[in-house]
Every structure is written in structure tokens, then in C-alpha cells.
Amino acid sequence: MKQDSKHDFRNPNLPLEQRVDDLLAKLTLPEKISLMTHESAAIERLGIPYYNWWNEALHGVARSAPATVFPQAIALAATFDINLIEETAAAISDEGRALYHEALRRGIHKQYLGITYWSPNVNIFRDPRWGRGHETYGEDPYLTGEIGAAFVRGLQGDDEMHLKTAACAKHFAVHNGPEAKRHTFDAKSNQKDLNETYLPAFKRLIDEGVVGIMCAYNRLNTEACCGSPTYLVELLRNRWQFDGYVVSDCWALNDFHENHKVTGDQAESAALAIQSGVDLNCGVVYKHLQEALDRALITESELDTALSRQLAIRFRLRMMDPEPDSHFPELTVDTVGSEKHRQLARKVAQSSMVLLKNDNNVLPLSKSIGEIFVSGNNAADINALKGNYFGVSKHYVTMLEGIAGKADPTSIVRYEQIILLDQELERVRTQQVDHVTSADAAIAVVGISGLYEGEEGDTPFSKTGGDRDRIELPENQMVYLRALREACGDKPLIVVVCSGSALAIPELHDLADAVLWAWYPGEQGGNAVADILFGDVSPSGKLPITIYNSTDDLAGFEDYRIAEGKQTYRYFEGPVLYPFGFGLSYTRFEYSNISFSKEHVQRGEGIEVSFDIRNAGTVAGEEVAQLYLAAKDVPFQTPIASLKGFQRVKLNPGETTRLSLILSPEDLVIFDDDGNPFDGPFEFRIFVGGSSPHQRAEALGIQKPEFAELKVVQKT
């Protein structure tokens, strides 16, 4: 599609600022206002087509033409694999670009066909009851920042001047439930938790070059997140020097006057958002900008500043070039849902799945097993594959299909669903479990799905607006599993759990011989589960969350205090079922010989930590080596342990390699009770191993972590 090139703003050889200024000078005031919402109007006299900014790419191009559905975001985090996540995001941007160009060529301009993606979600998953937690990268700020940065690199590409697609980090800055109150809720957070937990991932993505930030619905310490001088102006723009665009969450500006009561009407809400640095309104409040101007609530200069920032994104995406569909010519519609991307989705799913139990090495199963009994509410349900913010695939493979496809041609595979996700307890029929008596092994695929946990209004089985009030596995499933265990007798019971958040399953752990956590594993989830169950792949995923024993272990759902509230693995002091970073393999890994590149560090310096890792088992496998810090003997509360480095490595049986991880000066900062960096000398205990340094990990089969101590001294 060739566009009129007579205007300077069409000239790709001119500096970006000059092109933006040229277009701004040509726009009338009504035209400027028409470009300020997510449904940016066509400016026909200048040859600018309608553009809808709203698109999603959380784990694949979403809500659009059929495309590859990768594992849900929480599963991406469970890979602990930065390179793999960047490759995944690059594949998503390939498909998004291909669809966008095809739409341009056909003259189609509509929602979900653009290349401005409102992904990723880097909020901290502080409480497993939050329905949207599976959109995030888990409960740790370091892991969230590193996985999020890799995702941004993959989406945006490596051209400093231009963007392949535009990423957007959300929801700035403190937003994680409750869903039912998100339009009225005032999240209270102290400066220590902000600096230590809630803000680092956003800062990491800004340093990486993310071009978009979405502000949240709720208030933070009384200020509406999308109208906050403290966080949008002072922190984001002034201190962090963010120069991209800020978009409101959809219809969040209506909350200013309707729910938060910080403004009196839509014109005042529009003015507050403009003055707070919100450049684009997902919604309709900015349709009242003319009234705000007429009432002298804002100036046209302030409007121009906001418009110029979001127009710059469209220029960097080459939308204003004479031939906007001519870039990336190698990306055609054949790219979308390609075999290459299908195999990548399978690899990501394999790398994300976490083996939680494997008594007596019942896994892997033999492919020539005589008979398998498959059952469970999620065994043949594609809802267990999708998560939320999902696309539609042409190639869904359920767990049942994957298992059937992997078994030997003469193996008998029997299937009975037996239990439904929302089935009433008194109607659970367990007599069908008797079919297991002739089988050599039973595989139960249980858990929940996006029907049960998700965003406000999207979860028909949630009674709390998308959240959960309890984290226990639904009792109807426990009735079924007890009956299945009894029917199995001495034969192995393997349980595959689908969930995007922690489920309290201590009884399930005791009933099962093996437990595999599969998340919402995307279109190739069934194949990936079968690859692991039958030993083609050794499991290597690690938990990006803590799995607790009970809902009673959790703090109040509306309590945003991390340190004082004892939330997440970094501060929770009680026993857990499975700790953060935990995950078993079909082999064993041993860590030894930890050393530092220097004996101590001065403030403002970094350090290199090196250690040996050995595959002490009999099969090849991949391991995620993890590094944690714990401050010693300081006069204020610090995390029990904090992840500060990780690396995935593949080792053959008996093979040893030496790994080195770099701790930056920022990694060695600890915050006092007021949220200030601590100035005095102190020591760190540095742990390396296959899990967070929790005694439960050792009890479940992970080698006790290696540790050494490092002194941080004041700079001389």
C-alpha cells in the first residue's frame, strides 16, 4: 500500500522529531483530539488510515486471526530461559507483522490487527488468589524483570531507530487484586516494598527500551495510577527518564470521576490524565479534551506533548512511511502458525513443565506399556491449554491426544473424563475408576483453567470477579482422586496439574506417585506432557511461584505489604509444599566449588560468582542453576533469600561445567525499613543450587545448596 509521499512526515530519511513536528503542524485541533484514543481516527486529507492501538500478545498474537498459541506467561517464566523467551517473543512479532501487513494490503483496519501490543504484564504475583496472576512472570522481581526484558527484546527487535512491534509493560505500578474492586481499590504500599518488589521489573524493562507503559485501574497510596504526579511524572518521566508513550488501562479514566472521585467530570478526568503524562486513552474520556481546553483545564501545548509521544511510536513502527507494508518482506501469512513456530511452542511447553514428585522413578513411562487409563477434567479440554489473553490455534493438542499419540501402537489407551471442572460434589460419579484395574498405570489430568481464574468478567466459574477465595483443589476433584488411588492399588498414579497459580494440594501429593505441573501449556501442551511422561524429554521447569499448603498460610488478600505481611518466598517464614525455584529432573545435579572474582566488594561495584555443576545421574538433562542472596546481621528486615541470577545448562551424564554469573552493583543493594539503600558495611550469604534455599527443597530431592559469604564494604 503506497501512501502520498509529498509531506515531510512521509520522508523516512528525516529525523524522527522533524517528522513528528511536521505532522503536528499539519493537524487541526479536532484532528489532534481524534488521534488521542485507542481508536485513532483516519485523517483522510493526509492519507492517514484509521488505526486501533489495542492489541495483545501475552503468549501469542491474541484475539486475532488463527496464530500460534504459546504457553501462558507464567509458564514462560517457569522456563527460566531468557534466550528461549526472546525467541518466542520474536516468533510472536513475526506473526503479528505478517498479519498486519496482510491487513494493510487488503485495506483492513480494525482492532487486534495492529502491532502495538499491550504486553507483557510485569506485576508481581504476590498472592495466588489473584485471578490474573498467570498473566505475570511470578512472584520474584528479578525473574520478572529478566523474563520481561527478553520478551520486550523479542517483540521490538534490535533496530534502535525502528520497531518491529511495540511492547507495553503493564499495569503501572502496583496492581494485583482484588479484581472485583480494581476500579475502586486503593493499594497501600510503603517505600521499601516499592523499591524492593513492585518497581524493579518496570525499571528493568524501561532500561531495556520498552516503548509503552500502561497505567493501572486502581489507586496507589491515594493517587489514581493513571493520574499520579508521584509515579507517572516524578518517578516515571523525571527520575527514570521514560520517553515512550503511556496508555491508560481500558476505561480507567472513567474511574477518576465515577469511582475514585478524584475529579468531578469527564473533562476534568481528561485534563488530569494529560497533565499526568497519559498520552493515549484506551476508552472515550479523551473525546472530552475539547471541553477541557475550553475550560482552560489544559493547554494545546500539553495536548501536543502527549500526542507527539504516541505519534513517535507510529513513526518508529514505519506506519507513516510511503510503503508501510514493505518492511520485513520475508514475513508472509505462511509465517503464522508455521511448523517452525509449532515446534517452538512445544519446546517452550517442555521447558516450562515442573516435575514435583517422582517416587521410585515411576516416570518416565515405557512407550510399550500395555495399558494406560487416562481421566480427569482437563485431559481433553482445550481450555486447559489456553490461559487467558489467548489466540486461536489450528493445532491444539490436548493431554489425551498427546498421550495417545506417544504410546506404542499396540498399547491400549482408555479414557473416561469422570469429573467436570464445575461438577457438584454430590453428583461426582467415581464408579468409572474401576476401569483402571486392568491398566498398568493411571494418568489423571486435573486442576483448573481460565474458566476459573482470570480477569474481571471473563471467568464464569469464579464467584469473586475472577479471583479465588480459596486455593485448595476443588473438593470434587479430591473425591475423584481418592477413588482413583484406591482403584489403582499398587499401580502407579501419575497426576498432571493444570493451573496458572498455586493450588494447595498436600493430599494430592501424598496420593500420587508422580506429580507434573503443566500450567496452561499452549497449543502443543498435550505433546509436551507426553514427551515428558514417556521420557523423550527430561523435565527442567522451575516454579516461579511458591506453592503453599493451605489458604490459611496466606496474608490478607488486600494486604499489599510484602515484607511486613510475610508474602512471597522472600519473606514467608512458614512451611510450604513446594518452594520457589523448585523442580525435579530425571537425573541429578550436584553443585560445588563456589568462588568469587574478589574477596569483597566496595559499594557501587559488582562481582562474578563461579561454581561447578555436574550431572550426577544416568541420563542427559537440562538444569536451571540459581543464585540467591541473603543479607546477614543488618538492623532491619531483609528478604530470607532473593534470586539474583540464573542460567539454564544442558549436561550429559557425568559431565561437569563451570558457570559464572555476574552480580551487578544494583544486585548488591539492600533497602532499610524506609526504603533507602543501606550505607553501612554488611555481609551476604550467596547460595547456588537447583532451587531457592529452602529445607523443603532438600526434603523433596534437591541437593542442599552450596553457599559462600561475601562482604560489602563502604567505598573508600
Catalytic residues: 249
Contact at 8 Å (CB) between 646 and 662?
Answer: no
Measured distance CA(429)–CA(240) in Å, rounded: 58
CA nearest to 211, candidates 115, 110, 101, 352: 115
CB 91 within 8 A of CB 67: no
Q: What is the pLDDT of residue 457?
A: 86
**Could you say which DSSP state residue 162 is in?**
S
Closest Cα to residue 695, out of 655, 641, 638?
Answer: 641
In DSSP terms, 515 is beta-bridged to 357, 495
Q: Give the distance, in angstroms, between the CA of residue 652 and the centroid of all CA atoms in the same chain.
A: 31
Phi-psi region of 623 (alpha: psi -120 to 50; beta: other; left: phi over 0): beta
pLDDT the model gives residue 433: 79
Query: What's the rounded Cα separation, in Å, for the pair 236 and 240?
Result: 5
Beta bridge partner(s), residue 650: 622
- Which stretches of 283-370 are assigned E, i.e. beta strand? 354-358
Phi, psi for residue 368 in degrees, rounded to 5: -95, 20
The 10s digit of each residue's pLDDT in 169-216 is 999 999 999 999 999 999 999 999 999 999 999 999 999 999 999 999
For residue 210, with 0-12 CB atoms within 10 Å meaning exposed, 13-18 middle and 19 or more buried, which class applies?
A: buried
Q: Does pLDDT of 348 surpass 60? A: yes
Residue 557, Ramachandran bin (φ over 0: left; ψ between -120 and 50: alpha; else beta): alpha
Dihedral (C-alpha) 398, 403, 405, 407: value to the nearest 10 degrees?
Answer: 180
Cα Dmax for the chain:
80
**Residue listed under C-alpha cell 474401576:** 434
What region does 521 belong to: left with phi over 0, alpha with psi -120 to 50, or beta?
Answer: alpha
Residue 425: which pLDDT band, with cuts at 50, 70 and 90?
A: low
State mean pLDDT over 80-96.
Answer: 98
Which helix H or strand E contains 87, and what residues bound it?
helix 82-105
Residues whose CB is less than 8 angstroms from the CB of residue 239 and which lie 6 or more positions away in sequence, other chains included: none
The share of the chain scoring above pLDDT 90, in percent, equals 94
> Taking the alpha carbons of 311, 315, 321, 327 in that order, is the dihedral positive or negative?
negative
Question: Helix crossing, 141-156 with 200-208: angle to 10°?
Answer: 30
Fold classified for 353-545: Rossmann fold (3.40.50)
**Per-residue confidence band for 1, with pLDDT thresholds at 50, 70 and 90:** very low
* pLDDT tens digits, 572-622: 999 999 999 999 999 999 999 999 999 999 989 999 999 999 999 999 999
In the chain, which residues fall in CATH 3.40.50.1700? 353-545
Residue 2: CB atoms within 10 A of its CB come to 11
Sheet containing 223-224: order of strands = 186-187, 219-220, 223-224
- Amino acid of residue 361: N
Nearest residue to 395 via CA among 56, 73, 66, 113:
66
Partnered with residue 307 across adjacent β-strands are none
- Report the C-alpha gap between 179 and 452 in whole angstroms: 13
> Can you tell me whether residue 305 is helix, strand or coil?
helix
Average pLDDT over residues 430-458: 90
Predicted pLDDT at 429: 65
Q: In this model, does residue 420 exceed pLDDT 90?
A: no
Nearest-angstrom CA–CA distance, 557 and 83: 34
Sheet of 212-215: strand order equals 168-172, 212-215, 245-248
Least confident of 54-63, 116-125, 321-330: 321-330
Query: Do 152 and 205 touch, CB atoms closer than 8 A?
Result: yes
Which one, of 647, 655, 653, lies nearest residue 610 by Cα? 647
- Looking at residue 87, its pLDDT comes to 98
- Lowest average pLDDT, out of 463-467, 546-550, 695-699, goes to 463-467
One-character DSSP codes across 89-147: HHHHHHHHHHHHHHHHHTT---TT-SSBB---B------TT-TTGGGS--S-HHHHHHH
- What do you get for the CA distance between the two ends of the chain, in Å? 62
Instruction: Report phi then psi at 55, rounded to 5.
Output: -150, 160
| Cross-strand bridge partners of residue 447 | 498
CB 620 within 8 A of CB 538: yes
**Residue from 55, 35, 135, 69 nearest 97 by CA:** 55
d(CA 93, CA 608): 34
Cα 396-398-403 angle, rounded to 5 deg: 130
- Contacts by residues 22-27 (CB-CB < 8 Å, ≥ 24 positions apart): 23/311, 23/320, 24/304, 24/307, 24/308, 24/311
- Phi and psi for 668 in degrees, rounded to 5? -100, 15
pLDDT of 716 higher than 60: no
- 534-577 pLDDT per residue, tens: 999 999 999 999 999 999 999 999 999 999 999 999 999 999 99
Record the cell numbers describing residue 478, joined without a space.
479430591
H runs (alpha helix) in 466-523: 475-488, 506-511
Instruction: Give me the residues paired with residue 55 across strands.
Output: 117
C-alpha dihedral (475, 476, 482, 488), degrees to nearest 10? -150
**Band of the pLDDT at 428, cuts 50, 70, 90?**
low
Q: How confident is the model at residue 126 (pLDDT cuts 50, 70, 90)?
A: very high
CATH 2.60.40.10 positions along the chain are 589-713
Cα 335 to chain centroid, rounded: 24
226 burial level (CB within 10 Å; 0-12, 13-18, 19+): buried
| Cα-only R_g, the chain | 26
- Give CATH 3.20.20.300 domain extents, the chain: 8-335
- Give SS3 for 685: strand
CA distances from 65 to 60, 62, 98, 227 (A): 11, 8, 11, 35
Beta partners for 611? 659
Is 8-335 CATH 3.20.20.300?
yes
In this prediction, residues 213-228 reach a mean pLDDT of 98
Inform me whether the pLDDT recorded for 52 exceeds 80.
yes
> How far is Cα 124 from Cα 365, in angstroms, rounded to an integer?
37
The CATH class that applies to domain 589-713 reads: mainly beta
Residue 66 CB-half CA count within 13 A:
9
DSSP secondary structure letter of residue 677: B
Residue 366 C-alpha cell reads as: 515405557
pLDDT digits (tens, 9 = 90+) for 501-512: 999 999 999 999
What is the average pLDDT value for the chain, to the nearest integer? 96
